[in-house]
Amino acid sequence: MRTVSEDTRFGTSLGLAFLGGYADAASFLTAQTFTGHLTGNCVLAAVSFGTQEWPLGLDRVLAVLAFLAGIFSSLTLRRLLPLYLKGHSLLLAMWVELVLVGAAFLFIWNHANNEFFILCMCLALGIQNDALRKTSQVGIHSTYMTGMATTLIQKGYSHLFPDHTIESKPSTVSTSATIQVLGPMWLSFILGALGGAVAVARFHTIGLLGIALLLSLLICAETKTTWTRK
C-alpha cells in the first residue's frame, strides 16, 4: 500500500514556528487574546470570569473553541484529500491559513468586532498546528512551545546525564537529532513573538500584515521545493 510522508523540511518548520510566535504576540496585543495557545487562553478565560470581565472571557473561550475547530478542520482536509494530493497537505493548509489571516486583517482594519478577528486567526493557527507534524523525523508543533521545551530539556538532560539503570525502548531518532530540531524551533518561536510584538507596538494594525507576508514567503518556498522534486 502506498504511504505518504509527513516529514517537513527543517527550513519550513523553522519559518512556521517563527510565524506561530509572531501571530500569537501580535494577536494578543491586538485583541488581548492568544490565537495559538490553548493553555494561556484557558487560564486567561478563567481569570477574566473570576474578575467578572465577561466579554473578554467569552472572547478567550471563543479562541479555544476556534483553535480546536482549526485542528479538526485540518484533520478532515487531510483525510478527504485524494492520495496524490496528500503529500501537499501542508502547502494546501498554508493557503487556507493565508486566506483566514487576510480575512482577520480585514475585520480589524474595518473596525469590526474582535470576535471575527479571533475566530479567523485561531482557525488559521489551529490548522497550522495540526498540519505541521514532523521534521527530520522528530515530532513537532509550531504553536505548542510548552511541550517542545519540556521534551528539549528532558532529552538534553538525558544526553548530558544518562541514567543506565533505566531501560528504555530504542528510538528511531537519536537524542542529539531531537535536540538539534527542537532547540532552533523553540528559539525561532521566541524570536517570532518578539518580532510580532515590536511590529504591532510600532505599526499597530499594519504590523499584522507581517503574518501574511511571512506566510506568503513560506508558501513560495514550499511550492518551489515541490516543483523541484518533480
**What is the per-residue pLDDT across 39-86, written as a single tens digit (0 to 9) for each?**
889 999 999 999 999 999 999 999 999 999 999 999 998 899 988 788
Q: How confident is the model at residue 1 (pLDDT cuts 50, 70, 90)?
A: very low
Comparing 48-52, 121-125, 160-164, 182-186, the range with the smallest average pLDDT is 160-164
Identify whether 230 is part of a domain.
Answer: no
Measured between alpha carbons, how far is 14 from 191 in angstroms, rounded to an integer? 11
Q: Would you say residue 95 lies in a domain? A: yes
In angstroms, the CA 184 to CA 181 distance is 6
The residue count of the chain comes to 230
Domain of residue 17 covers 10-222
Q: What is the mean pLDDT of residues 22-29?
A: 96
* In-domain check, residue 1: no
Cα separation, 149 vs 104, in Å, equals 29
What are the pLDDT digits (tens) for 197-227? 999 999 999 999 999 999 999 999 999 886 7
Following DSSP, what letter does each residue of 159-216 receive, concatenated? HHS--TTS-----SS-HHHHHHHHHHHHHHHHHHHHHHHHHHHHHGGGGGHHHHHHHH
Domain membership flag for residue 184 = yes
Q: Is residue 229 part of a domain?
A: no
Per-residue pLDDT, 164: 67
Neighbouring residues of 40: CB distance < 8 A, sequence distance ≥ 6: 34
The listed range with the strongest mean pLDDT (77-91, 121-135, 142-156) is: 121-135
Q: What is the SS3 assignment for 138?
A: strand
State the pLDDT at residue 158: 81
- Average pLDDT, integer, range 102-125: 95
Question: How would residue 171 be classed by pLDDT, with cut points 50, 70 and 90?
Answer: low
Residue 229's pLDDT band, with cuts at 50, 70 and 90, is: low
Whether 139 is covered by a domain: the verdict is yes
Handedness of CA 121, 67, 76, 85 (dihedral sign): positive
Q: Which amino acid is at 54?
A: W
pTM for the model:
0.91
Question: What percentage of the chain's residues is helix, strand, coil (to nearest 5)?
Answer: 75, 0, 20
- Provide the CA 57 distance to its chain's centre, in angstroms: 23
Q: Is residue 121 part of a domain?
A: yes
What value does the mean pLDDT take over residues 16-43? 93
